[in-house]
Structure formats: C-alpha cells, structure tokens
Amino acid sequence: MPVKAIEWINGKVRILDQTKLPTEVVYVDIDNPGDLGEAIRSLRVRGAPAIGIAGAFGIVLGIQNFQGNDVPGFLHEVDRVARELMKTRPTAVNLFWALERMKRVARQQSHLGVEGLKNRLLREAQTVLEEDREVCHRIGKHGARLLQDNSAVLTHCNAGALATGGFGTALGVVYAAVEEGKRIRVYVDETRPLLQGARLTTWELMQAGIDVTLISDNAAAFVLKQGRIDAIIVGADRIARNGDVANKIGTYNLAVLAEKHGIPFYVAAPLSSFDFSIQSGDQIPIEERAPEEITEGFGQRIAPPGVQVYSPAFDVTPHQLVRAIITEEGIIEPPFEENIAKLEKQLIHTQNSDDDLWEVTR
Amino acid sequence: MPVKAIEWINGKVRILDQTKLPTEVVYVDIDNPGDLGEAIRSLRVRGAPAIGIAGAFGIVLGIQNFQGNDVPGFLHEVDRVARELMKTRPTAVNLFWALERMKRVARQQSHLGVEGLKNRLLREAQTVLEEDREVCHRIGKHGARLLQDNSAVLTHCNAGALATGGFGTALGVVYAAVEEGKRIRVYVDETRPLLQGARLTTWELMQAGIDVTLISDNAAAFVLKQGRIDAIIVGADRIARNGDVANKIGTYNLAVLAEKHGIPFYVAAPLSSFDFSIQSGDQIPIEERAPEEITEGFGQRIAPPGVQVYSPAFDVTPHQLVRAIITEEGIIEPPFEENIAKLEKQLIHTQNSDDDLWEVTR
C-alpha cells in the first residue's frame, strides 16, 4: 500500500515533510493556514493534487477559530484565507480548483450558520481528500490497460502517492498494473533542481517493492535510444482546453524525446488538473524558483557566487506530443480539443444534476 | 586570457584540481604516473584534449627515473606506463592518441639512447600541450564565423580552457567570437551528475568576463522553445569516421532538441578526437560511472540507500543531428563520411612528408 503524504488528524493537517525524504521520514502537524502556506511554498507538501487537498484543509484551519455567528463575516474570512493560500504557487491549477470548491460550498450552504459551515467545510475537505484517492485508483485502472506485462516505464519528478492523497497519478498507473500481476520496471529521472525523482519516486516505489532504476536527467535520451523504455508517463500541474500540459521542468524535453524515438508519451492527471478557462498552454503562468535551489540545493555550493541563473519550475508540453491523457473518467485521445470539450459538457451536466456541485472553472 | 588547467613545471605536472572548483582554486603538482592516473580517473584533470596532454606527460613522469642505458628495456617501460594510463578512462580517444604518439616517437628515436629519449619525450609532451593550445585557437577562429553578433550559445559540460591546454574547443569558439568584438551570451547546462557546467564552465566564463547563465539540464528544452538560443556548441570525446560523436551524457539529448527546434548543433573538437579506426559511434565504449556520483554527489545523500542506478558518462550523437564539426583544419560539413575520409587522406599525406609523425590510429 503506497504511503500517505497528507491526512487530517485531530483537528490538524498531518503531512509527510517531503523536503526531508529520503534520509528522514518526518511528519509535521499543522494547525494554521500560515504554516500550511509555508509548507506548500517550501514543497514540504507538493504535487498538484496534494496541494489541492492541502488548500482545502487550509481553509478549514483558517476558519476553525472563527468566533460568533456572523455568516457574511465568516464567508469573508473564507475568501481571505483562500486568497492567501492562492499566492503560494502559481502553476498547478488543483489548488485554485480546491479553494474555489470550498468557497462555493460555503456560499451555497450559508443557511447552516457558522458552526454548521465549519463542520460542512471540514467534511468537504475530507471529501476532496477521499475523492482524490478514489480518482487516483480509477486513473490507475484506466492507465494500466496501456502497459504490457514485462515492460518498462520512464517517469519524471514525482506523480505518486506522495503527490496526491495516496496512490498517485502516473505512479498510480504503475501500481495498478502491478496489482493486476504485470511485471513493470520503472526508470526515473532524478529531476533537478529539487530531485523529486531521486528523493521521492525511488523512495515510494522501493517502499512498494517495485523495480526502480534512477538515472540522471541527462541520461534519459540515451536510455530511450537504447530501447530500454516502452512508455513515458508523467503527471500534470495544469492542462489547457487544447491538451497542452504544464508539468515539472524537463517534461517537455521527455515529450520531444518520446516523439523522436517513437515511444508513447502519456499524461496521467485528475480532471481537477484541467483548466477549462484557458485555451492553450501559452496562458499558463510558469513559476520561477530561486537560484539557490540550483546553486546551493544540497548543502554544498556548486556554482560560483554571483552566477546568473534561470530556473523555471515548469514547462509546457504541446498537445501534439501527447499520445493520451489518462483521467479518472477514462483515456482521452486526440483530437484533444474536441474530446476535452465533450468531457467538459459531461461535467457541467453532472454538476447540474448533483447536490455537491463539482466545479472545474476558477 | 582563459585559465591554464595543465602545465609542466620543474619536472612535475601541475594541474588545477577541477574537483575543487568553483569553491576552491587548488593546484596539485604530480611527480609519478600512478598519481596522474588517479587524477584522470577522479576527474581532477578532465576533458578529452586535457587528458591527452596529461597522458603524454604521464609517460614522461613514468620514465624519468629510469636508470642505465638499456634502450629496449626503456621502450618496454614506456609501453608499460602507457598501458597503465590507458586503463584510466575508456571513452575519450585523445588519451590513446597521445600515448600512441609518445610510444611511436620513442621507437623512432631510439638511436638517441635512454637520456636522449627522456629529453625527446619531454619535448614531445610539451609539443602536445603547445599544439593543443594552438589548435584550440584555430578551432575558435573557424567556429567564430558561425556566430552572429549579439547571439546566444547553449553549451553542455565543459569544453573550455579547463578541458584543454587552454582556450578550449566549444568555448574556444565563444572566446574567439568575443575577441572579434561580437557580443555573445552563453547558457550552460549544469551537466549532472558531475556538474561540470555549473562548476567549471560558469567559472571560467565569469573569469573571462563573458555573460553566462546557468540552467538545469531539464530547462534546456524549454529555453530552446522560448527562442533564447541561436546555436548549440559542444565538445567531443571521440568522433567516428561517419561523424557520430561521443560526448558527455546529455549531449545526444541536446542534439535531438536542436533538430526539433531548428537550431544548429555544432561539435568543436581537435583532429585528435577523431578515431579513424571505427566506422560508427556504435563501436565507442561508453564508460559507466559509480552510482555514488549521482546519489551522494552533493555532499548529501539524495536517494534511498540501495537504490539501483544507471549512470553512463557519455552518449553518442548520430551524425545526422550534427550540423557541422569545427576542427583546427576548418569546418567539416555533411556528408561527414566523405569529408572525414578526405581529411584523413590529407593527414596521412602530411604525416608521410613530416619528420614528427602525426598518428591518428591507435
């Protein structure tokens, strides 16, 4: 059973501090939205789905000490906490999605009064977490169909249990295939600058007893050329209406390599990673990280003081390079624009006939 | 004036210890071939041309204490020292080229006797070093024609003054263009696992006052897509008869990216990097390095204990992806097989009419 990176325990958010892995397994209990924001910003909790979940619980933490029965004041406070949490990281859309969902529920259920709303919002955050786990299992099951027995997958960064409520997206596909009895080997890029592949993906796959081999990011092209890889599967931080995918820096590189070597390039992501408000990847803001993450990332200075650094945290893979997007509702194939539009229509239909509104715009 | 990474001073080889850069500038004086072999193996001295030079001086160190006047015994000792040095690193051909050159001179000048041979071999090693400096300047001059004023070059690893007798190959092109008054910006990949780009290329370019920006290897694709780069220039560890190029792991990746983005991909290398004995890159042995260079390279463990690692130090770029090879004799363009064969004929002609035989086979 893959590890759990985020849970709600005794009125606090318990996260597995991912900056400490793989050398230390440290859990941190967080009881206020400021600390939660810091945990998102510093990547103690990371991965698009997981920061969505963290955001939902961040709202709960932010309003749990609200006193009195001033419902408009309470809703105002929900909005204020959401605004603060939104500032933490700009690229992954799941955070905005989860915060909007919480705000919407608060507005729609305002008749419950302040104490009722507190309970309702806690339940909503727990639902976000539980749904994410279920969604990952469904992504895994759909994606596993794409993997043959005795095949090798290359992945990038960490789109695993650690990046979600549990089970993972890209790694969820691997876990599901292994559960079906398929023998799957995984190659993972170390994923500079923050080494989520080396530190996190190796760790969680080894915990789960899955055959994993670590390579430097630079070795991926050669490994593909050697014919070692049958499929590339990555996660996503945001997917545009046309199927363009923002994901960890280096993902676009792999997509180009996949095209060159005739290897399928798959993206595994929940529907909460789709941003139906943007037409293409050009509109996705790309977070730039501090130079020190490159020059001093591992306790030792590796570049001259004062060197100029350019460190985008994400890149955008054009949809033309994506063979398929694996979601909880099934596998989306090209033409993406058309098929994503169909999916959106279904979602709106489901929303309108559903009590708990499921909202994908922001 | 770029830095000097290898010199002969007072009967010793003085190297700039490149494992200490950029935080410390430490020179090491080496007086025996065992220590020199260790310096090559541990990359204190590195870069295909520089390890060729180091190999030539290694022969000198190995025979300088030879006693008596037994010329066959002396030649035997030359061969033995060369064999030991050959074991240090398998991919770069310049080492084998330099050792063969030294052995050949020893055999041809055996009439000089042991003391005469010692002097002659020292002179030959010094010639190897001086020629390399001159060759790099000629490479730079030829290559500079390919760079426009106000353009940006992406490079990988370190093919600079630190990798040669001085001035460099890929960076030699940049230095020469800047000397001609062109404004050149350089982007450099950090070049995992051993970070020669982050540690060495940034350092030597900053020393030379050249505008340099460090990026993670993963960012190269995105940087190309953003249109920031006008040309990619790399060095070479070995070039086959058909123009296939072995160079630092990640080079093939860049060549694929260059093709995808319509950006010229150039290789800058001396003729001593050509291996006329092999038809294609498939025949080039690829060194694998220790897992610890990836898992513990930053002074801190970054992957779980016991993780499987695959760490090829080089890859092979097929000649189809190479726009041109910049050598001291000019720019070689496709069809490479034909044009490299012409070059070889010229070399053999030069050799036959020359006293100091210039030998490219091994």
Residues paired with A184 in a beta bridge: A151
Taking an 8 Å cut-off on Cβ atoms, the answer to whether A249 and B222 are in contact is: yes
Instruction: Summarize the confidence of residues B145-173 as an average pLDDT.
Output: 97
Percent of chain A with pLDDT over 90: 92
Instruction: Summarize the confidence of residues B46-69 as an average pLDDT.
Output: 96
The answer to whether residues B235 and B169 touch, using CB atoms and an 8 Å cutoff, is: yes
Taking an 8 Å cut-off on Cβ atoms, the answer to whether A198 and B306 are in contact is: no
The answer to whether residues B200 and B302 touch, using CB atoms and an 8 Å cutoff, is: no
Best residue of A253, A280, A295, A321 to probe chain B, by most B CBs closer than 10 Å: A253
- Write b or e for each residue in B170-201: b if 16 or more Cβ atoms lie within 10 A of its Cβ, otherwise e: bbbbbbbbbeeeeebbbbbbbbbbbbbbbbbb
Q: Which of A221, A299, A301 sits opposite B256 (nearest CB)?
A: A221
Taking an 8 Å cut-off on Cβ atoms, the answer to whether B192 and A191 are in contact is: no
pLDDT number for residue B347: 83
Residue B359 binned pLDDT confidence (cut-offs 50, 70, 90): very low
Say what the pTM is: 0.93
| Chain A with chain B: Cβ pairs closer than 8 A | 190
For residue B249, the chain A residues in CB contact (below 8 A) are: 216, 218-219, 222
pLDDT number for residue A65: 95
Best residue of A195, A218, A244 to probe chain B, by most B CBs closer than 10 Å: A218
pLDDT number for residue B352: 54
Taking an 8 Å cut-off on Cβ atoms, the answer to whether A302 and B199 are in contact is: yes
For residue B218, the chain A residues in CB contact (below 8 A) are: 189, 191-193, 217, 248-250, 253
Give the relative orientation of helices B71-86 and B94-108 as an angle to the nearest 10 degrees.
Answer: 180
Please say if the pLDDT value at position A117 is more than 60: yes
pLDDT tens sequence across B203-220: 999 999 999 999 999 999
Taking an 8 Å cut-off on Cβ atoms, the answer to whether B216 and A249 are in contact is: yes
**Annotated catalytic residue within A189, A237, A244, A315:** A237
The answer to whether residues A147 and A177 touch, using CB atoms and an 8 Å cutoff, is: yes
Position of tokens 């130079």?
Answer: A291
Residue B360 binned pLDDT confidence (cut-offs 50, 70, 90): very low
Residue A13 binned pLDDT confidence (cut-offs 50, 70, 90): very high
Please say if the pLDDT value at position B318 is more than 80: yes
For residue A294, the chain B residues in CB contact (below 8 A) are: 190, 198, 214, 216
For residue A220, the chain B residues in CB contact (below 8 A) are: 253
Rounded CA separation A279/A267 (Å): 18
Give the relative orientation of helices B71-86 and B113-144 as an angle to the nearest 10 degrees.
Answer: 40
For residue B216, the chain A residues in CB contact (below 8 A) are: 192-193, 217, 249-250, 294, 311
Rounded CA separation B186/B207 (Å): 14
Position of tokens 């994908």?
Answer: A360
pLDDT number for residue B356: 42
- Write out the two tokens for A211: 């055959």
pLDDT number for residue A352: 53
For residue A281, the chain B residues in CB contact (below 8 A) are: none
Rounded CA separation A339/A269 (Å): 15
Instruction: Summarize the confidence of residues A124-131 as an average pLDDT.
Output: 97
The answer to whether residues A311 and B215 touch, using CB atoms and an 8 Å cutoff, is: yes
Rounded CA separation B240/A77 (Å): 68
Q: Identify the H or E element spanning B225.
A: helix B220-225
Q: DSSP class of residue B213?
A: E
Q: Which of A203, A219, A253 sits opposite B304 (nearest CB)?
A: A203
pLDDT number for residue A346: 85
Indicate if B237 belongs to the active site: yes
pLDDT tens sequence across A193-227: 999 999 999 999 999 999 999 999 999 999 999 99
User: How far away is chain B from the Cα of A83, in angstroms, using its nearest Cα?
Assistant: 30
Q: Which of A206, A221, A306 sits opposite B307 (nearest CB)?
A: A206
For residue B244, the chain A residues in CB contact (below 8 A) are: none
Nearest CA in chain A to B304: A22
User: How far away is chain B from the Cα of A43, in angstroms, using its nearest Cα?
Assistant: 16
Average pLDDT, chain A: 94
pLDDT number for residue B239: 97
User: How far away is chain A from the Cα of B211, in angstroms, using its nearest Cα?
Assistant: 9
**Annotated catalytic residue within B132, B237, B244, B275:** B237
pLDDT number for residue A1: 60
Q: Which of B192, B202, B260 sits opposite A190 (nearest CB)?
A: B192
Taking an 8 Å cut-off on Cβ atoms, the answer to whether A221 and B253 are in contact is: yes
Q: Which of A295, A299, A307 sits opposite B299 (nearest CB)?
A: A299
Local structure of A266: helix, strand or coil: strand
pLDDT number for residue B100: 97
Rounded CA separation B153/A347 (Å): 47
